[in-house]
Amino acid sequence: MHSKLTPKLAAELANGAYELLDGSKSYQTLGTPHVWQHVDFQQRVTARTGGYILNRETGFAAMGIGKGRYGGDAIITIRGTQLTSGHDWATNAQIGLTGSSGGQTVHAGFCRAFASMRPQFEAFLAEWRTSHPGRVVHCVGHSLGGALATLLADWIGSSPWRQPVYLYTFGAPRVGLGGFALANTSRVNANHRCTHGADPVPKVPLWPFIHSPFKGTEYRLDSAHGGFSKLAHLMDPDAGAVPGYLRTANKNSWDALQRQASRNLETATKLDYAKRHQASFNEFWLDRLSAALITLLKKTGHFGVFVAQSAIGVGATFYDLMAQTLAKIAEAATSAADEVRGLLGHMLVFAGAAVTTVKDLTYATIRAIFDLMLRRLYEGVREALKRTWPN
C-alpha cells in the first residue's frame, strides 16, 4: 500500500517550487526542512517562460525520490507562472484546443508547455523505474503548475508501464473537455484537487472544459466570502485576512479537510430576465450561468452538436459558435428567446455592466455580452496570476 503525501507536505512542495525562479538558490534545498525530511531532490526541469506560457528558459519543476514513508517514490513538483506577458494563457478567452498524449481534447497552451518539459520527465522516470519498480509517482502543482501536473499524471497513467500515479493540485485551472476529464479519472490512482471558493483560477476555462476527477470531489479549503478575490489564489499571501493554500492545507490527513462534490453544472436551471439583478460576481453565479446555458442547449436539442463542434474549434471561434447557437435558439421559439434573454441579462449583471438591458438577440449582441462577461472574469484571473510569486 502506497502512502499519499499529506496535505501539508503537498502544499509545501507546491509552494517550494516557486523558489526555482531564484537562479541563485539550489533546487536541492527548495521548500522547508519538513520537505527535506521526505524528499531528496535530484534534478531540476527547465522550460522557457514568458510569451505564450514558455519563452524564456528558467527552472520550472523539481524531481526527486522520497524518503521514509515515501521511500523509493518519485516526487515531482511543478510551479505556476507569474503573468507578466500579454500573450499568456489567461490573457483572454481565445482558447486553442489540441489532442493530449492520451488522445483527448485539451487546452493547447497547457499541452505545449507540458510537451516542452516531457523529455526531461521521461528521462528521469525511465532511470527511476529501473531501480524502484512498482513504486508510485506523486505529481504536485499550483495554478498553471497544477494544470501541468495533471497532464503529467495523465501521461504517466496512459503510458505502457502503467506506473501508479497520485495527483495533488492547488488552484489549478481546467485542463480539458469532458472526454479528457473522464479518461484522466480512470488513469490517475488518486486525485487531490484543492480549491478556495474565492479563487477565480479554478473556474477557467469555462464549460465545456471540465475538471477531473469527472463529476468527482474537490477539497474545498476555504469558502467564498463576498465573491472572487485575487488574493485567494496565492499559496501564501502576505495579507493575514486571506488564508492561502499553504495555511488552509496545513493538515497531516486528507480526512481532516472538507470535501464536497463538484457542483453539478447539468442541473436544470432557468434564469428569469426580470430577476437578473440578483446575480453577482462570484463562483455561485458563474456556475448558475453555466448550468442555465447547458439547460438551454439540452432543451433545444443543440447540446450534443455544440460539444462535438467545440472539441474541434480553436481560438475565437469557440465563443463565436456559442453566440451563433444562442441566436438560432432565440429565433426558433418565443419561450426559448425568453430563456436566452434571461441568461444574457444575468451575464451582464455578473460582468458589472452599466446597462443590463438586452434589446435584441442577434449574434452581434450575444457575442458582445459574452465578451463583457469573459473580460470581467479573465481580468480577475490575470490579477490573481500577477500576484502568484513576488519579483
The pLDDT tens digits for 340-381 are 999 999 999 999 999 999 999 999 999 999 999 999 998 888
Of residues 109 and 273, more confidently modeled: 273
The pLDDT tens digits for 127-164 are 999 888 889 999 999 999 999 999 999 999 988 887 89
SS3 assignment for the chain: CCCCCCHHHHHHHHHHHHHHHCCCCCHHHCCCHHHHHHEEEEEEEEEEECCCCCCEEEEEEEEEEECHHHCCCEEEEECCCCCCCCCCCCCCCCECEEECCCCCEEEHHHHHHHHHHHHHHHHHHHHHHHHCCCCCEEEEEECHHHHHHHHHHHHHHHCCCCCCEEEEEECCCCCEEHHHHHHHHHHCCEEEEEEECCCCHHHCCCCCEECCCCCCEEEEEECCCCCCCHHHHCCCCCCCCCCCHHHHCCCCCHHHCCEEECCCCCCCCCCCHHHHHHCCCCHHHHHHHHHHHHHHHHHCCCHHHHHHHHCCCCECHHHHHHHHHHHHHHHHCHHHHHHHHHHHHHHHHHCCCCCCCCCCCCHHHHHHHHHHHHHHHHHHHHHHHHCCCCC
Domain ranges (residues) in the chain: 7-262, 273-380
The pLDDT tens digits for 230-287 are 888 999 877 666 778 999 999 999 989 888 766 667 788 999 999 999 999 998 899 9
pLDDT greater than 70 at residue 92: no
pLDDT of the residue at 109: 82
Band (330; pLDDT cuts 50, 70, 90): very high
Percentage above 70 pLDDT, the chain: 86
Please give the class, per CATH, of domain 7-262.
alpha beta
**Which of 36-50, 52-66, 171-185 is least confident?**
52-66
**Which of 52-56, 159-163, 167-171 is least confident?**
52-56
pLDDT of the residue at 87: 44
pTM, rounded to two decimals = 0.91
The pLDDT tens digits for 182-198 are 888 889 999 999 999 88
Maximum mean pLDDT: which of 73-87, 90-104, 206-220, 282-296: 282-296
What does the pLDDT average to over 35-51? 81
